[in-house]
Structure formats: C-alpha cells, structure tokens
Amino acid sequence: MTAREVLISLIKRFEGLRLKAYLCPAGVWTVGFGSTGKDVDKNTVWTHEKATERMNKDATMYLSATKKLCPKIENEALGAIADFSYNLGATRLAGSTLRRRINEGDFYRARKELMRWVRGGGRILPGLVLRRKEEAMFI
C-alpha cells in the first residue's frame, strides 16, 4: 500500500464519518472524517462529498508535514505516522520522542512510543489504543 492509502484507510477506520458536528472526547468540535478547525462548530453540517474533499485535502497536508518532520520514513510507515499527525496534530509529532526515535531509525522504540499517545480528555480511550496498535503494525 502507498502512504496515502494507509493514511486514508486508517482515517476512515478510526474516525468514521459523521456529517453533523459533535464534541470529540477531548472536547473539540469535529465533523466528517475527524475534521476540526476554525470552520467547524456546533452548527456545522457537511455532505458526504464535503467530508471526503476535506479528508483528502487534510491527508495531503499531513503527509507533507509528516515527511518534513520525519524524512527517513516512507511508504506504509509514512502513512501510519501521518495518521498519528492527523489524529493529534503535526505540532504534537514535532515535539515528541516518537519523532526522535523515527529519525534515529529506531523503529522498535518508535512503536513503543506510539502507545504512550492513547489518552483523550485525560483518560485512556480504547479506540486510541487500537488506533496506535494499528499504526505500529505499519512501522
């Protein structure tokens, strides 16, 4: 699979699709395939087409940001770490030990680091545990 295919697959599997905005466990207004931002609030309603368009745009952005932060990763591993960035933000990846391990080429310890990112709203979320395990399988 390509990096983009891995990323899109993980997004769809773990974000699901909701066309009316909702508060995620971290208290952030979210819509579509996990999209957030200044254009998403409690009144946001999207079509399937809009959600797909936004997911594709964001996927391109997170693949690019992740590659800049972790230039050594490629293919499926890039897609998996881009999913981490999509889920938590590239800023979190930028300052993380996960990034340092990836850039050191220490993928064993990078997989372990992924499992430290399983909290939302101050508690461990089973969905994030599953997501991090799935991402780790590609690294």
Active site residue 15: yes
- Radius of gyration of the chain, Cα coordinates, nearest whole angstrom: 14
Which entry of 5, 15, 53, 104 is annotated as an active-site residue? 15
Bridge partners, residue 112, by sequence: none
Give, as one character, the DSSP assignment of residue 34: T
Tell me which amino acid residue 136 is.
A
Q: How many CB atoms lie within 10 A of CB 35?
A: 23
d(CA 34, CA 127): 13
d(CA 125, CA 60): 27
**Catalytic residue set:** 15
